[in-house]
Amino acid sequence: MAMFTVGHHPWVFAAGILGNLMSFLVYLAPIPTFTRVIKKRSTEGFQSVPYVIALFSAMLWMYYGLVNTNASFLLSVNGFGCFIEIVYISIYLIFAPRRARIVTLRLLLLINLGGFCLILIVTNFMVKRPHRVKAVGWVCLVFAVSVFAAPLSIMRLVIRTKSVEFMPLPLSICLTLSAVGWFFYGILQMDIYIAMPNTLGFVFGLIQMILYAMYRSSTPVTKEQKLPEQVIDIVKLNTNSTPEVHPVSTLQPNCDENEGGNGQNARKETEHAEESMEGSNRV
């Protein structure tokens, strides 16, 4: 197999390995969440949207890796991404309430089956072979850029609440390094479809770490409420997008009224941001 052939460009190999390793870590981030789901036999209000979007993103980039023979590094990480997201969604479908299962199945049929099949049909039967890489690349680029804008919601939440409880530093670092790896991989391969969206990923990652440095000392600590544990898998997606939706803890009775109001608003914004961020770290 010449899957990872890089010729005389060892930096391409290094960038591809870095991107793969960091993306693997981001894909594995939701494991504590689903371990808790299995133990409690309940999704506790988790939403499936991020996992459906992450699966769609992995499918798109895997297709691009198959069409573009110079982007073979995308096959390994996104093949793994498809597998792990299917596992997450399967667990969700087993333990989710009936209504949530129906919504998830509809999303899978609409986005992952209908949307992806439509892309396959258009790019294979309506686009000539010499232009197929460009067509699929633009689809991936537009999708990646749209999900990479999601971290803006989390950053706005951090600035407004002056708290980094919703933005774990280790995950932000992994996402930033993943974006760096894929950015240089795209640049060295002269592939704008990979490099361009990861430019945004790198910039947003740096901003998140700067915000963490600014507000880490002002993060409120509560004994009853463990928000970091609930949102430890926030992504943001690729890019890379990983990132996850978690139930928001109910405020305890001993919290004062002001904290309750702030917590309610923070929960709503966090939930919205997390839903849109999943998949933003995927390339």
Q: Where are the domains of the chain?
A: 10-277
pTM over 0.75: no
- The Cα–Cα gap between 201 and 204 comes to 5
Return the SS3 of 282: strand
Q: Give which of 13, 81, 92, 65 is closest to 278, Cα–Cα.
A: 81
Region 227-252 average pLDDT: 40
Model pLDDT for residues 134-174, shown as the tens digit of each residue: 999 999 999 988 776 667 777 888 888 888 877 777 878 88
The mean pLDDT value of the chain amounts to 77
92 C-beta neighbours (distance < 10 Å), count? 21
Site of tokens 């993943």: 178
Based on the number of CB atoms within 10 Å of its own CB, is 224 exposed (0-12), middle (13-18) or buried (19 or more)? Answer: exposed
Q: At what angle do helices 10-28 and 169-188 cross, to 10 degrees?
A: 150
Q: Which ranges in the chain belong to alpha helices (H)?
A: 10-28, 31-40, 49-67, 73-95, 98-107, 116-125, 129-148, 151-161, 169-188, 192-215, 227-230, 257-277
